[in-house]
Every structure is written in C-alpha cells, then in structure tokens.
C-alpha cells in the first residue's frame, strides 16, 4: 500500500530532524515501542507491542535511517514480524521550513503479509494511516514536553 501525507509542526527543521533521527526520541514516538537498541549507527532493533481490537501482538523488527541530508530529507526503512503477520516498508521524509513552522511530508510504500493481510484487508490501509497519525502526534507531544 502507498502511504503519503503531511504534518505541520511548530518547530524548526533542525529541531525536528533531531526527533526523527535520534533513537531516544523515536522510541517515544513509535506507537507501542517497548525497546529500541542501536546495532550500528543508523540501524536499530525495535520491539513494538500493538493492540487493535482483540488483536494484540508483539512485533520485533529493524529500523534504518538512511540517505540522510540533514535537516531536509532522509529515508526510513523498516520491517517487523509478529504472530499476526509481518510488515515491510520504506519511505522518504522531507522537511521544509515555512516561517517558524516546518511541514513534514512523507511518502512511502508498505507491504503487509501474514494473517492480518489475509483477513484484515479491508482495514489495513486505514489502520496503517491511523498509526502513522499516532506517530506524528507522539512527536508533537515530545516537542511540547521540551518547550
């Protein structure tokens, strides 16, 4: 599925860049993230616990921050697997300054497989978008807690 969207934050691109690329902030922003450890610079192991309706699962996976052009652009590559299924995705995040705000636009693709993909097809894209929304709201919270 294709994922695309924009979020506006009241912060400079430099400030946001930090949040998107530093694991200690990513850990707070990724919904359900329980653990995040750095294997090598830019490559992380993550454990995420997600529960939607009665479907609860722990997913372990990898996240990579690549092709960094601070503070304008980077690529995020991720994959995770758990009992309900697996997900693989990558996308570009672009930051552009507008006055004292920054518009963050993301564009990417994700593949979902396993049980949830077979049974939950109807809702997968919507739920993926919802979780991305949660991610960006969490970034907003982190920003707020630091001002």
List 22, 66, 83, 141, residue binding other proteins (CB under 8 A): 83
- Taking a C-beta distance cutoff of 8 angstroms, is the pair 34, 49 a contact? yes
Nearest to 95 by CA among 77, 114, 76: 76
Q: Considering only CA atoms, which of 5, 6, 10, 37 is closest in space to residue 141?
A: 10
Q: 3-class SS at 146?
A: coil
Report in angstroms how near the CB of residue 132 gets to other proteins at its nearest: 11
Among 72, 126, 137, 141, binds other proteins (CB under 8 A): 126
129 interacts with other proteins by CB under 8 A: yes
Structure tokens at 70: 């601070």
Q: Two tokens at 37?
A: 């450890």
Task: Specify the DSSP class assigned to residue 100.
Answer: T
Q: Does 119 bind other proteins (CB under 8 A)?
A: yes
Considering beta carbons, is residue 4 or 14 the nearer one to other proteins?
A: 4
* Distance (Å, whole) CA 143 – CA 146: 5
The two three-digit tokens of residue 90, written as one number: 């990558």
Which CB sits closer to other proteins, 4 or 67?
Answer: 4
Q: Nearest approach, Cβ of 113 to other proteins (angstroms)?
A: 14
Q: Which of residues 58-77 bind other proteins (CB under 8 A)?
A: none
Radius of gyration of the chain, Cα coordinates, nearest whole angstrom = 15
Q: Which is nearer to other proteins, 57 or 78 (CB)?
A: 57
Cβ proximity to other proteins: between 70 and 133 the closer is: 133
- Asked if 124 is part of the footprint of other proteins (rule: CB under 8 A), the reply reads yes
Give the footprint of other proteins on this chain (CB under 8 A): 1, 52-56, 83-84, 115-116, 119-130
């Amino acid at each position: 599925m294709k994922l695309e969207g924009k979020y506006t934050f009241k912060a400079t691109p430099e400030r946001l860049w930090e949040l998107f690329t530093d694991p200690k902030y990513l850990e707070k922003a990724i919904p359900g993230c329980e653990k995040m450890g750095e294997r090598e610079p830019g490559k992380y192991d993550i454990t995420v616990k997600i529960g939607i309706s009665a479907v609860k699962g722990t997913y372990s996976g990898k996240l990579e921050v690549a092709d960094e052009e601070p503070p304008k652009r980077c690529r995020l590559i991720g994959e995770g697997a758990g009992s309900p299924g697996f997900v693989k995705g990558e996308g570009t995040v672009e930051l552009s300054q507008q006055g004292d705000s920054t518009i963050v636009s993301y564009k990417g693709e994700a593949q979902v497989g396993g049980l949830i993909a077979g049974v939950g097809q109807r809702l997968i894209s919507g739920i993926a978008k919802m979780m991305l929304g949660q991610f960006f709201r969490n970034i907003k919270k982190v920003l707020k807690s630091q001002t």
